Structure 1
Amino acid sequence: MRNTYIYAETAFHHEGDMSFLLKLIDNAARAGVHGVKFQVLVDFDELISKQNPAYDKLKAYTFSREQWVDIFNYTLAAKLDIIAMPLDPGALSLMDFFQGKIRFVELHSVSYYDTAVKEGIKKSGIDLLLGVGGRTQDEMKDAHAYFGAQLKVLMVGFQAFPSKIEDIRLRKISELKTQFPTVEIGYADHSSFDDAWAVESNLVARALGATIFEKHLTLNEGEKRVDFESAIGVEKLKEIKQKLDALDVIVNGYDDAFQMTASELNYRNRQKMAVAVGDLPAGHTLRADDVALKMTGEFNGFSAKESLIGKVLNKGIQSDYIITQGDVHN
């Protein structure tokens, strides 16, 4: 199992406030995560119908291409990866402009059947994350067939403002690992910011085999903004990162899973050792009824009676004393 990769999701939590978004990037760097995800929208009318009741409000959340260039450069200067979710053709052109500088591109669930967006993502050749929330197994297989080796990660999880942990069906992680053995499985938690699962579900997902993690980030937990329900502060994000790092050491911090540590060897050495049944003279050939297994507090003897049958004592052994390696010969 590979080590974990975690990034902060910003979505439209910025609400069109660029200074707020830059502060989110700063907090992602403080938390020690690997990257920041942006839902990139340039040509607003390509995504949202004028008949949408939230049209005017949502349009105010849109950055210009020039602003996105500045945002991406700011992210790179902070030594953070860019995870980009293009939502329109203008956003796809940004992927070309930053070719070689974007770690992952993600196909949004709302664009799953948008041929133009899918073709643009495929043409980019950038490693792809695919959210599988709301997707059937057949749709996942079709996406895998369409994108081929470009599809690197299947992300489990979806946003329900917030999502209940029992609705996510985390076992999907281990089952997807079996169905798609060449693809990494990720987990995007959307638990409520004040729910213990906002941290702990990531550890469960890791145990099930997830290696890529997404978490919504905010400046002030509970402050009402877009997606605030599942957005956590920098300290909580740092806690998730630190716990995942600790799990990486626990899971991957050795070459041979069956090589015993010193503490496990000490535990093994508590096993019973062969002792003499009655006083046994030097030169005596040991029989089965001469030996019993008991806990002696010593560990330099024989743990199996059968190993001693037929051996000859080099010296006399008193009753209940351990028979050591040096006490016998063939």
Structure 2
Amino acid sequence: MNSMKLGNVPVGAENPPYVIAEIGSNHNGDMNLCRQLIDAAAEAGAHAVKFQSWTENSLIAREEYERNTEYSDKKRHFGSLRDMVKTYQLTTDQHREAHAYCRERGIAFCSTPFSPEEADLLESLDVPFFKIASMDIVHLPFLKYVARKRRPMLLSTGMATLAEIEAAVETVRAEGNDQVVLLHCVSIYPPDYEMIHLRNMATLQQAFDVPVGFSDHTMGTAIPLAAIALGACVIEKHFTLDQDMEGWDHAISATPTDLRTIVEEGRNIRIALGGGKRIVTEAEMEKRKKFRRSLVTRRALPQGHVLVEADLDAKRPGTGISPAEMTYALGRRLARDMQEDDVIRWEDLV
């Protein structure tokens, strides 16, 4: 598996998980809210915030707009689909404003492009990587276009078969770009637990020999942390200040507290995973002295007494002869008188 950096941050099994706070459209078209989200993500310790780069004309066809002119769920939706897309899209100037504010806050700015023009805009902003949405893993001409920019590409795999994922990876590599991260994903918001199949990450890693992560649509922090325990090197999680806010994705998004938990506990999990080689640490070696047992006398015994098994018990602390070495103590004579319950050490024997 090739080593890789997202910007100046290395990703892979030996590094802390790279955590992306997916703001998406949760800025609700309000740049003040956008800055607050960037602030909160930076304070929670996320490596990057991610947006979605689309316009009224680059993502949705007229037929779909005409089919979605009103919604019954007034908390997640307002007006028509076209009204929402126009409100939630980021203009070129807003992209630049968000990018500049991210630089000020020391957090990476990135986004998902949905057209070549939007990929060009993100390239002009020097994004550390391109995130490709699950819907576009089968848009091979678009993958080719983005791959030619020779930046890392994070491919979400929601709704995709293994054959479709293979075609996407081969398309990117054919353009001379081998900087691919595959994100296991379930494109249901939120998915039921039995839909998630986190072990798919191992399948993707083995099949394509690339870093693998998890683009998460579950509620809470348990599943992304489980993904990290199973080897996810990138976690992408929708992010909001308040799950009760109006808008498309707030209800299924992580709060600042959730995000901090994923960052901090994810780092702890990665450290705790360690390696496969069995090691007894110096701290545990020292702990043996208190927690392990030593041979002790069952009763008072005189100097010169020859030890038999009936003379011995084993109790804490572990500063004397280990019960594992009892065989070597039996038949030896005592070098001194010993009281009942005395710890026996090698210097007590002749």
Sort the TM-score into its range (normalised by shorter chain). 0.7 to 0.9
Q: Report the aligned-residue RMSD.
A: 3.1
Kindly report which structure 2 residues correspond to 1:102-141, keeping only aligned pairs within 5 A, or say none: 102-141=127-166
Runs of 5+ in structure 1 lacking a partner? Answer: 193-197
Runs of 5+ in structure 2 lacking a partner? Answer: 1-12, 69-80
Partner of 2:263: 241
Give the secondary-structure state (helix, strand or coil) at the position aligned to 2:95: helix
Q: 1:295/1:190 Cα in 2 relative to 1: closer, same or farther (>3 Å)? A: same
Aligned equivalents of 2:289, 2:113: Cα separation in 1: 56
From 258, 261, 279, give the equivalent of 1:258.
279
Partner of 2:24: 11
Partner of 2:42: 29
Quote how far apart the aligned CAs of 1:200 are.
2.0
Partner of 1:325: 346
**Matching of residue 300 in structure 1 with residue 320 in structure 2:** yes
**Matching of residue 56 in structure 1 with residue 82 in structure 2:** yes
Q: 2:52, 2:112 within 8 Å by CA — same for their partners in 1?
A: yes
Partner of 1:208: 230
Q: 1:267/1:62 Cα in 2 relative to 1: closer, same or farther (>3 Å)? A: same
From 91, 96, 109, give the equivalent of 1:69.
96
Partner of 1:231: 253
Partner of 2:197: 169
Aligned equivalents of 1:203, 1:299: Cα separation in 2: 40
Aligned equivalents of 2:237, 2:330: Cα separation in 1: 64
The letter for the 1-side match of 2:267 is: D
Aligned equivalents of 2:191, 2:251: Cα separation in 1: 9
Aligned equivalents of 2:124, 2:344: Cα separation in 1: 77
**Matching of residue 155 in structure 1 with residue 180 in structure 2:** no
Quote how far apart the aligned CAs of 1:318 are.
5.4
Partner of 1:195: none
The letter for the 1-side match of 2:199 is: R
Give the secondary-structure state (helix, strand or coil) at the position aligned to 2:121: helix
Quote how far apart the aligned CAs of 1:296 are.
5.0
Q: 1:259/1:11 Cα in 2 relative to 1: closer, same or farther (>3 Å)? A: same
Deviates more, 1:264-273 or 1:200-209: 264-273
Q: 2:144, 2:171 within 8 Å by CA — same for their partners in 1?
A: no
Identity %: 23
Give the secondary-structure state (helix, strand or coil) at the position aligned to 1:210: coil
Task: Report the number of matched residues.
Answer: 317
From 101, 115, 122, give the equivalent of 1:95.
122
Kindly report which structure 2 residues correspond to 1:33-48, keeping only aligned pairs within 5 A, or say none: 33-42=46-55, 44-48=56-60
Give the secondary-structure state (helix, strand or coil) at the position aligned to 1:39: strand
Give the secondary-structure state (helix, strand or coil) at the position aligned to 1:26: helix
Q: 1:163, 1:190 within 8 Å by CA — same for their partners in 2?
A: yes
Q: 2:20, 2:235 within 8 Å by CA — same for their partners in 1?
A: yes
Give the secondary-structure state (helix, strand or coil) at the position aligned to 1:124: coil
| Cα deviation digits, residues 129-180 of structure 1 (max 9, x gap) | 1112212222233333333463442222334233323321223234444445
The letter for the 1-side match of 2:157 is: V
Q: 1:322/1:49 Cα in 2 relative to 1: closer, same or farther (>3 Å)? A: same
The letter for the 1-side match of 2:82 is: D
Q: 1:130/1:269 Cα in 2 relative to 1: closer, same or farther (>3 Å)? A: same
TM-score normalised by L of structure 1? 0.81
Quote how far apart the aligned CAs of 1:320 are.
5.5
Aligned equivalents of 1:109, 1:261: Cα separation in 2: 47
Aligned equivalents of 2:314, 2:214: Cα separation in 1: 51
